A and B are shown apart, each in its own frame.
Chain A
């Protein structure tokens, strides 16, 4: 798939981010379990309204970081703040603002989907009526309304996962932590969750998510942190990461008639390239400048561009490259 042109996404993202309040602040977090250093100096900020992704191999420390940020685990050192509230000094205030889909926590297996959801609603202090209204709306939205009376233990893995998403949303959080929210979901449900995340972002919700679906991260996230061995090894927008990975983008252009290889070679000498008849292939680290240059070339030589095709490296390659696999 050669679908997205990175530059365009950058422009769009800037429009959507008018404010720059920090929603999630992690300062030099450390956490050891015995002699395993699970989180080893993690620092980052997530701006309000941003979707921030955590990408990393199994055991990298993603879940541990999220458990620290949501106040479940106390870090050995470092600070975690949600909208300015220290998660460990002001846990209730901070948690009032957040919704969590934990990787390792469960709904009560012997309570119905409905009861699980309204129970969580009460913990946010919602009245019975408000909790019921929101519960109905969320269950309908996530296609769980029909199974609301069934015990959580009898739900399929994906249904349970969606129930956890509903439980995370019932308090109408300003900051959402989603630890592998789409794991175990069918294609349609996963798509639904993704569009839900984007809708939430439109309403100003900040999202921190982890996923092992690298393409999903590339599609959803404004910024991605790649974490390995308890440390963030790279941070940036998906495009930044592509550039930082040093992987190449291939741009293939077809003109309406054959071009002169020597002339073209001179014109495109900034990049590695091949000419073949009416086609030229450019190999570069980003696509915007070469494309401008192609258009200039066409104008100068009175050529028409029949087709232009860019293949940026896919996120998976980028991920593998950065992790050093």
Chain B
């Protein structure tokens, strides 16, 4: 047997994922937020300005991913620290990393459940997508990345969910506005472009826009690479940072 046999690792991860879905995701309010938030924001920008909704599908998908998959992960760790269930879990043969991967998994499933239907329904409505497989894969990687981003926020060793919600809002909202998600990159002034290039929302939007309309700002390979890089960065960052702050977190009373 290894440190944590693969069987055990797998079972632990799914058990955590299942617990998350049951406790956090299968709830009315969270489901409503997941649908309404991106839809309103998107509607306000695209339909409100009389743009063709078809051109904006890439933005709707990215916003939905962003709002669903990074919405719950930030609060799980502080909430469960406060509730003293985290200590209950960690008294068992399981590493924080395994728990966090379970959290990311649940958030990924949640994100995909909201995002993929938009893609498939638009296909049914006749909006052509030049590469459905590529779109699906890139959506999956993005969902994982944004889920991990949520987990990254929760590495703040606090037992007050509001602290993390504040932190994540402060980071997340500007990210939306500096990325090409609401206004196509080509229409941004050059000085904001530099900032947009640093936003993780920019690349999936750009790639999806390419797949939907054939117009994109960056070459396809740049978008793909950046999506992958951001996802790896957020995931590794989340796991490492949590390991660092765990003992402070468990000392909270």
Give residues in A with beta carbon < 8 Å to B. Answer: 33, 70-74, 90-93, 95-96, 98, 100, 102, 104-111, 115, 119-120, 122-127, 167, 171
Residues A92 and B93 in contact in the complex (CB < 8 Å), given A105-B85, A109-B83, A125-B5: yes
Give min CB distance, B196 to chain A, whole Å: 41
0/1 string, B1-18, CB within 8 A of A gives 1: 001110110011011001
Asked whether A72 and B23 contact (CB < 8 A) given A33-B251, A122-B14, A124-B92, the answer is no
Specify which of B4, B7, B14, B90 lies most central, judged by the most chain A CB atoms within 10 Å of its CB.
Answer: B90
B95 touches A91 (CB 8 A): yes
Are A107 and B85 within 8 A (Cβ)? yes
Q: Are B91 and A119 in contact (CB-based, < 8 A)?
A: no
Distance (whole angstroms) from the CB of A238 to the closest CB of chain B: 28
If the complex has contacts A111-B19, A111-B22, are A106 and B88 also in contact, measured as CB distance less than 8 A?
Answer: yes
| A96–B93 touching, CB < 8 Å | yes
Q: How far is the CB of B95 from chain A (nearest CB, A)?
A: 6
Name the prevailing secondary structure of the A interface residues: loop
Some 6 contacts from A to B, beta carbons below 8 A apart, are A73-B251, A92-B93, A93-B3, A100-B91, A107-B85, A125-B8
- Out of A72, A110, A123, which one reaches B94, CB within 8 Å? A123
Interface pair B95/A123, CB less than 8 Å apart: no
Shortest Cβ distance from residue B21 to the other chain A in the assembled complex, whole angstroms: 12
Output the least CB separation between B129 and chain A (Å): 38
Q: Which residues of B contact A92 (CB under 8 A)?
A: 3-4, 93-95
B88 touches A171 (CB 8 A): no
Indicate if B250 sits at the interface (CB-CB under 8 A). yes
Of B11, B15, B91, B93, most buried by chain A (CB within 10 Å of CB) is B91
Q: Contact between A90 and B3 (Cβ–Cβ < 8 Å)?
A: yes
Q: Which residues of B are found within 8 Å of A71, using beta-carbon distances?
A: 90-91
Q: Is there an interface contact between B90 and A108, defined as CB atoms closer than 8 Å? A: no
Of the candidates A33, A119, A125, A127, the one whose C-beta lies within 8 Å of that of B19 is A119
Measured in the bound complex, the distance between the Cα atoms of B17 and A10 in whole Å is 50
Contacts of B95 in A (CB 8 A): 91-92
> Which of A104, A108, A110, A123 sits near B93, CB closer than 8 Å?
A123
Q: Is there contact, CB below 8 Å, between A125 and B11?
A: yes
Hey, which chain A residues are within 8 Å of B11, CB to CB? 122-123, 125-127
Bound-state Cα–Cα, A94 to B3, Å: 10
Residue in A104, A110, A122 whose CB lies within 8 Å of B84: A104
Nearest to A116 among chain B residues (CB) is B88
Across chains A and B, which 9 residue pairs bring their CB atoms closest together, nearest first?
Answer: A125-B8, A122-B15, A105-B88, A123-B92, A105-B87, A95-B93, A100-B91, A96-B93, A122-B11
Beyond known contacts A108-B85, A111-B19, A119-B18: 13 more, CB 8 A cutoff: A72-B87, A74-B247, A91-B93, A91-B95, A92-B93, A95-B91, A111-B23, A115-B22, A119-B19, A122-B12, A122-B14, A122-B15, A123-B12
